[in-house]
Chains A and B, each alone.
Chain A
Amino acid sequence: MNNYYGKYLGLLPIFVLIQVLILNEIFFFTYINPYLYLTLIISLPLRASKWYILFYAFSIGFLIDLFGGSLGFHSTATVLIAFIKNTISKITIPYSILEDNDEITLNKIGSKSFVIFSLLIILIHSTIIFGLEHLNFNLQILAKIIASSFTTLALILILEILNFSKK
């Protein structure tokens, strides 16, 4: 058993609580709803057991859904990004930079690849969530997707930089 499995399980309730008690409460604008918990799925090592990744993503989404009162929205989105994460990493992260159990962080893979990799994942996630919620597509929803994605990205980058300077 790799030690990061336990670490990520421990981080899960913390990020769920941050999401439902703080980020969902803070009112930026109607258009902005950041999802910071994506940082967990983004930084999970690529070689982690695929079963673990899928079940992990599902449990995050399911817990957030339970707090929101309607089931299925977040779990659908998180499970999908957990599934396509490896494919996206092949496009955006330079080959053989990461060793087997390396987490995907800003200083490991470089800021350019990290931003592109995270942004792609966040955009897909937001598109699914807002698409499912509204079951419709128009300019307002597009604005919501883009505004929320960039806020999420900014928060994740801040978290990464704080993490980096600590070490």
Chain B
Amino acid sequence: MHNLLRFIKLNQFLLLFILIEGFSISLLLQNNTYQASQTIEFSTQYTSAIYNYANYFYDYIGLKETNDYLTIENAKLYTLLQNNERSFDSTILPDKTFNYLAAKVINNSVKKRNNFITLNKGSKNGVKHGMGVITDQGVIGIVHSVSKNFALVISLLHKKSAIGIFLKKNRHTGILTWKGFNYRIATISDLPIHIPINVGDTIITNSYSNIYPEEIHIGTISDFKKNNDDGFYTINVELFEDFNNLRYVYVIHSQQSEEQLLLEKIIATDE
């Protein structure tokens, strides 16, 4: 016992280091567990409040760009409205399954391997875990955790992000991921090489997802490579959205997603 105490006293620095470093590494490893997301959820309300204050300042700098953006957005919606009024065509059913909630980006990063986005809407406004986030120029991400006034979104620029996509011209389906580094380029690596593709082909979201609406335009193919060994393409997609310049986004609430999930759950349990 005496020896043990002496050992601890002599090596207290090393032991303390091992303890703290071990704690850090365990935080790193359990980044996706319940406890970790609870911690993040708890801290989000404070860190976001600070980002929100800083944002008052950034808002003044970006006032002109925001104005331009809103004008363009307005014009777009106006045309949409007019087109809608004119076409009382019974063959086109209005898609009312998705509700959109506009939110402002108060913090965002593109430089890290795993990027997160903070929004100024939270559980108070009806944002929930797992909702999709988009802009008119593409898919942004999925809500990861929510506090009362803020939400933390896993960006498309994240190791765990994967978005189901279609090639617009022939509806072949694939999965879009991000390999790190360049925030304008995402990658598809599960399209078989018998499918004909060209540089400039448009990529859109597919219809299988219950998070995103179908046919959101995401980007165009900028270059691709055939891997004859495994029979798949490696395709680089240039994204329409400039993630470094996000200002306003839409959080999507899909009214059918719960129903679809429930149905798929029944099938899963039957098997």
Q: Interface residue count for B (Cβ, 8 Å)?
A: 38
In the bound complex, residues from chain A placing their C-beta under 8 Å from that of B13 are 50-51, 54, 83
Known contacts A51-B16, A80-B21, A83-B17; is A71 also within 8 Å of B28 by CB? yes
Instruction: Let me know if B77 is at the binding interface, CB within 8 A.
Output: no
User: Interface of chain B, helix or strand or loop or mixed?
Assistant: helix
Assess whether B181 is in contact with A69, with CB atoms less than 8 Å apart.
no
Contact bitstring B102-136, A, C-beta under 8 A = 1, else 0: 00000001111110101000000000000000000
A27 within 8 A of B: yes
A130 to B180, CA, bound (A): 11
Q: Cα distance A54–B133 when bound, in Å? A: 40
Residue of A nearest to B182 (CB): A30
The yes or no answer to B99 lying at the interface (CB within 8 A) is: no
Q: Residues of A within 8 Å of B, CB-based: how many?
A: 36
The 8 Å CB contact of B112, one of A55, A75, A133, A140, is: A133
Residues 162-199 of B, flagged 1 when their CB comes within 8 A of A and 0 if not, give 00000000000000000011110000000000000000
CA distance A55 to B24 in the complex (A): 12
Instruction: Give the A-B contact count at a CB cut-off of 8 A.
Output: 94
Task: Determine whether B70 belongs to the interface, using a CB cutoff of 8 Å to chain A.
Answer: no
| A17-B50, A71-B40 given; A79·B20 CB < 8 A | yes
Known: A66-B43, A67-B50, A132-B28. 15 other contacts (CB 8 A): A20-B47, A21-B51, A27-B244, A30-B181, A51-B13, A54-B20, A55-B20, A61-B24, A65-B27, A69-B40, A71-B28, A72-B29, A79-B17, A83-B21, A133-B112
* B interface residues with partner A (beta carbon < 8 Å): 12-13, 16-17, 20-21, 24-29, 31, 36, 39-40, 43-44, 47, 50-51, 54, 58, 109-114, 116, 118, 144, 152, 180-183, 244
